[in-house]
Structure 1
Amino acid sequence: MTAQTDIISATVLIVPGLREHVADHWQTLLARKLPRVRSVAPLEHDKLSCAERVAAIDRALASIDGPVIVVAHSAGVMMLAHWASRCKSRAIHGALLAAPADLETPMPPGYPTIDALDAHGWLPVPRDVLPFPSIVAGSSNDPLTGLDRAREFARSWGSRFVELGDVGHLNPASGHGEWPMAEEFISQLATPR
């Protein structure tokens, strides 16, 4: 079985960050290209609630039959870490964790404060080894997570770490739309263990 066949047989679950689905974001563009894909539905209420975000991931996973590869970005990575520490409802084949947002360190203006994140259940960020293979892809100039912190998260979670270079937060604001490496990482995760 080839990696491409494995991707086709697995459903990719897109877990966006707090800003949810952005039309020109690489996750949205990737979702249009893949044969089997679902996305975590945007929240109508309690948008900053970690518990609601975790429940949304759990609902999305429950709606999928067969193997699942999760593709999370930014705070979506932390949502998945919280899901993995709280829910044991579903096995995941693997996860791509791109540009994790360090919610324990003050972020730039326009993002939630540490106090707001703490009040909504985000802190502390779980550091348990994830119960599935994962790849953390970090940027050397991400304004939301220093490279050393991204490496630390990867070590804690038992993830393989890949340094992407100077790609900012790997989002449209940092000049990124399509991200072909995502498909390469998904192929690696889809390869039978």
Structure 2
Amino acid sequence: MLLPGWLNSDPDHWQSRWERQFGYQRVEQADWTWPRRGDWMARLDEVLLASEEPAVLVAHSLGCQLVASWAEHSQHHARVRGALLVAPPDTEAEHMPPQLHNWRPIRRPRLPFPAIAVLSSDDPYCAPERGAQMAADWGAELVLIGPRGHINSESGLADWPEGQALLAQLRA
């Protein structure tokens, strides 16, 4: 189940490519421009409850913050087998756009399911040490992939087979 971040994932983003190539379900949000944490959490609960199988969440950017926030409040943890958390943003950073201020403070509960956090060394939305601390707080295995920006369509990942390998680890 794909959880895009703020403004959704564009057609060249690895999430969109995975959706087309593998048929993964994207969780659509009512408002991608001014994301409200509570609304996004309620939507994730709704989609998970409608699914017959437990899901592996594949989150990018603000989608990672969604997973942490949802896990802190939802009673439906058994519907999630694991989470791939790619490029979590530091929504507490001063340079974050005002549309994301609603995502402060960052939720840091230990996740009740296995997780892998993937970080870039030059992500403009999160310093590596902040991302590593979030991963540690969430109990996620940390994977550093070097200088790949925000790990999005501008990162040159195409279908990102390395990400698929990480996802396979979570499914195993």
- TM-score, length-normalised on structure 2? 0.92
Structure 2 counterpart of 1:58: 45
Root-mean-square deviation (Å): 1.7
Structure 2 counterpart of 1:181: 162
Structure 2 counterpart of 1:103: 91
Does the Cα contact within 8 Å between 2:7 and 2:33 map onto a contact in 1?
A: no
CA drift of 1:179 comes to: 1.3
- The alignment partner of 1:80 has SS state of helix
Structure 1 counterpart of 2:100: 117
Stretches of structure 2 that go unaligned for 5 or more consecutive residues are none
What is the identity, as a one-letter code, of the residue corresponding to 2:151? L
Aligned residue pairs total 171
- Give the Cα–Cα distance (whole angstroms) in 2 for the partners of residues 117 and 141 of structure 1: 20
Superposed CA deviations along residues 56-101 of structure 1, whole A, max 9, x for unmatched, are 1111111211121000000110011111111122421010000111
The answer to whether the aligner puts 1:30 opposite 2:21 as a matched pair is no
- The alignment partner of 1:28 has SS state of helix
Does the Cα contact within 8 Å between 1:39 and 1:60 map onto a contact in 2?
A: no
- Give the Cα–Cα distance (whole angstroms) in 2 for the partners of residues 71 and 20 of structure 1: 13
Q: How does 1:144-163 map to 2 (within 5 A)?
A: 144-163=125-144
Superposed CA deviations along residues 141-170 of structure 1, whole A, max 9, x for unmatched, are 000011111110010000000001010001
What is the aligned counterpart of 1:72 among 59, 62, 72? 59
Calculate percent identity across the aligned residue pairs.
Answer: 34
Superposed CA deviations along residues 154-190 of structure 1, whole A, max 9, x for unmatched, are 1000000000101000112343432111210111001
Superposed CA deviations along residues 83-128 of structure 1, whole A, max 9, x for unmatched, are 1111122421010000111101123xxx523xx534x3x1111111
- Give the Cα–Cα distance (whole angstroms) in 1 for the partners of residues 136 and 120 of structure 2: 16
Structure 2 counterpart of 1:137: 118
What is the aligned counterpart of 1:165 among 146, 154, 172? 146
Structure number with bigger Rg: 1
Structure 2 counterpart of 1:4: none
- The alignment partner of 1:136 has SS state of strand
- TM-score, length-normalised on structure 1? 0.82
CA drift of 1:44 comes to: 4.4
Does the Cα contact within 8 Å between 1:129 and 1:157 map onto a contact in 2?
A: yes
Runs of 4+ in 1 over 4 A off after TM superposition: none
Structure 1 residues 184 and 117: alpha-carbon distance in aligned structure 2, compared to 1, 3 A threshold: same
